Structure 1
Amino acid sequence: MAKVSVIPARQQVQVIDGVSRERKKRVCAYCRVSTDTEEQLTSYEAQVTYYENYIRSKPEYEFAGIFADEGITGTNTKHRVEFNRMIEAALAGQFDMIITKSISRFARNTLDCLKYVRLLKEKGIGVYFEKENIDTLDSKGEVLLTILSSLAQDESRNISENSRWGIVRRFQQGKVRVNHKRFLGYDKDENGELIINEQEAAVVRRIYDEYLGGLGYKSIALKLEAEGIRNGSGKVKWHDSNIKQILTNEKYMGDALLQKTITVDFLTHKRVKNKGEAQQYYVEDSHPAIISKEAFQKVQEEIERRAKMQGCTNETRSRHSNKYAFSGKLICGNCGSKFRRKRWGQTEKYKKYVWICVNHANNGNEACDMKAVDEEKLKAAFVRSINKAIQAKDTFIKTMIENINNVLESRREDAELQEINTRLEELKEQMLNLVRLNLRSGLDSLIYDEEYQSLEQEMQELKQRKAAFDNTELIRDKALKKAEEIEKLLSSRQELLKRFDDYLFTEMVEQVRIVSLVEVEFIYKTGLVIKEIL
């Protein structure tokens, strides 16, 4: 295995203290190279020398220092020490202008670039990009910067995608890389291969045994904590989630599921759970097992069995977050206020739960004369309502699709959206060509400004129209997804409902309008309204 050494960046900053307070513009420079090759290092030293000489040669400038990051990626500014120090110094009023070679040297993504340019601009500090001939304090500077920055951003995206290709290639070859530092039960040998840490592995085996013996996540966590046993992070504090993670991690049986998470944004490097967006790779017997495959499978079956006994799975448990099914869904037909739950009766024999209008409860009959509604009557009314839908599911689903189509845009409008996107790309290309032509040939300023403003105005109008379509697409996606879920839910019901089902109510009903003490309206998420008598 090749030995990889990391050469840390050298901080090379020359700051002149006590700069003159004359009218000269205090100017610093920012330099950066991406790698530590000899050729790049030469470029790095050359940049520092060039900008110091350049600033000192200008009589209207006063040299205020050089800030330089070496060997640090430009994708984001988080690890660029000298860049961040320069921004702090600028905001503290130590200089008036920053000079840098190009947008890609300053920042490789539009987000960071515009963020810092605007921040500096608010303080009256300009950034001059030599290659692009852009001064951010110029009236057109930021608009031009937005366009040109997108080109630099494409470069960073390509770099990110190339790196990702290398990772996926390792996955395809079955090469497993695991961070063992927080992985209870394993260490790494001198070759970087996983090996069992027997002392920690005993804790893992104990967790599996105790779960199969009948203990729950919380009970196991409390026992381990009471005995002072440390978790994978080296802490004595155990949580339910620690236990569940150990019991559901396939790596403990010697296998590895690769690409469980994916990077959704090459700029922020944010990772989310892979729910089918990217291909996954399952490697069997990739490393020594602590738990047998049979024991691991028994635990998964026991987890599922316990979930069913509790009346829910992981999926349904996450969907239903309100304390009661009716919470937040009951609306007063008189005043529009919501309802809250209340217990009536002091003894168990006479106890019952009702739902009362919040406005009536807080402000009395003068504000709203709606009386309390019996919870059991509401449940019975829903059972009758949903059974009507189940009995006529084909009609119910047909009505649902018709309602969705009534509020969504037609295919003609989809074609119109495509035309908008095409025209926006054309305008962007025209603006870039105009900027390039101006940089090369120096167009008449009046002609340039007139042409540029015309393109910009059309682009802004198209963006506003596109925003309206984007909102429609969001509604479309949500509605169609919900329609599929409801159709699947109804299709799976072969028998009529005999008693109230919290999950079915939560998934199907958008709102319940309490018309009176004897009448309610169930407003389904499909748009259908079914009236029932209490």
Structure 2
Amino acid sequence: MNTVAIYARYSTDMQREASIEDQIRLCTERAEKEGWQVAGGYSDHGISGASLLRPGVQGLLSDARARKFDIVLAESIDRLSRDQEDIAHIYKRLSFEDIRIVTLSEGEVNELHIGLKGTMGALFLKDLADKTRRGMRGRVEAGKSGGGNAYGYDVVRRVDANGEAVRGDRTINEVEAGVVRRIFNEYAAGKSPRALAHMLNNDKIPGPSGKGWGPSTINGNRHRGTGILNNEIYVGRLVWNRLRYIKDPETGKRVSRLNDKSEWVIHDLPELRIIDQDLWDQVKARQGALKACITGQNSPGMWDCRRPRYLFSGLMKCGVCGDGAIQVNSERIGCAAARNKGTCDNLLTIRREDLEALVLDGLGKHMMDPALTEVFCQHYAQTMNRLVAEHNATFHTKRIELDKIERDLDKLVQAILDGVPGNQVKSKMNELESRKELLQRQLLDVKEMPVLLHPNMAGYYREKIEQLREALSDETMRERAVEVVRSLIDRIELTPIGEEGKKIPSISLQGRLAGILALATDTQKPPLKDGFDDESVKLVAGVGFEPTTFRL
């Protein structure tokens, strides 16, 4: 007597779990009619036929190798698989073991069934995917969710006047929205995704999946729009179809691919905004700076872009050979080449705590020396005033031209109302309208630029340095303070001076003019924008005021 294994699958597109019992019952009746002995049953509940990674079908193939049955019986071929490659694989595996496949729909299965039915199953899956995407796009075009839900929002469940379920609506979950704001604020202040994950887990805050937080949940992928920090729904912008998912033929698992921007569907949903634009821009700026550090033209790579272990890690250099100065033991700083290679004779070391104190003291007392600062401010203001005047002149010229075009258009409209044939003024109106649109685009984000220079810049700078020194001893503010302090420094050189046997380390500090200006003018970045770049600073960096070097 032939032994038979029954396979049944409940597909996600059928949405009827009772289907499994129906299939098994019909197959059992067929086996009894044929006089076959049922050796066992295999089933997969709620799993698509597009994947072969199903426990039921894997168990079936495993037992087939052990020859526990002679026939596999199913309702139809597409219950075994809807994928052309997978159904051919199953057929070849079972044929090798001399096991037949019989279905209630097709009878005994042969190569012709595999080819035709496999193709039909693949076409069915493609058609189903197209219909599903079409329906999802329709919901997105109406400003509703295209599937799934983001952390910080609740799904709104309601019915319309006809009793039909209305799907795709969301509302802000204020508790989770508070967590989202906290993540953005802490990241903008200098915390890493790993530190944020630890902080949230220590505070017993459940993650999006209901479990703990991980760095990738927060950071995600900036270009793919994944992760809390990259989800544009938090600024009221719904982006759908950014990614597409395809099955890896080697593993059977889905992998994501980034679609071209022309395929994205974007809608503004201001009622769902959680993060204000300034905070979003700060986060994007910090992500961009980290990316530039890793991939820039002269980038040191990921290893050197990591968070510094000590306050001035990576900024210290040997003044003799130019190699890095490192922590040679638990307390002291010295030349790496002298210690590790023996290629430098600078064996002098200095306590790390003393070095940090001297540099911080130098930043406050020497970097913005009042006498030099006065000369610098004079030249800086002259150069910036010239740049601002050129910028504002261009702005006003375009503004005047736009006003004139609007007056000319009004005159042409009045001429038509007075009886002048429209075809006589049509070309002129089109020309003016095109020029008007161009000027409006150019002036959209352009504003008059004042010179942002604090009258007591040196004093204000020293006050900020003192605040930073205090913040360095406060654990809640240290990470951000470290970033600001490091933004003021390009290089710290350690050079031995004095007679042989009595040498002491001399510290040469080179500062970043852009960072100094940012701190001195109380801005997030130096007072350069709307077309002004670092060239503006270079024009005055060496005139009268030399912020780059002094010795301690």
Larger Rg: 2
TM-score, L = length of structure 1: 0.44
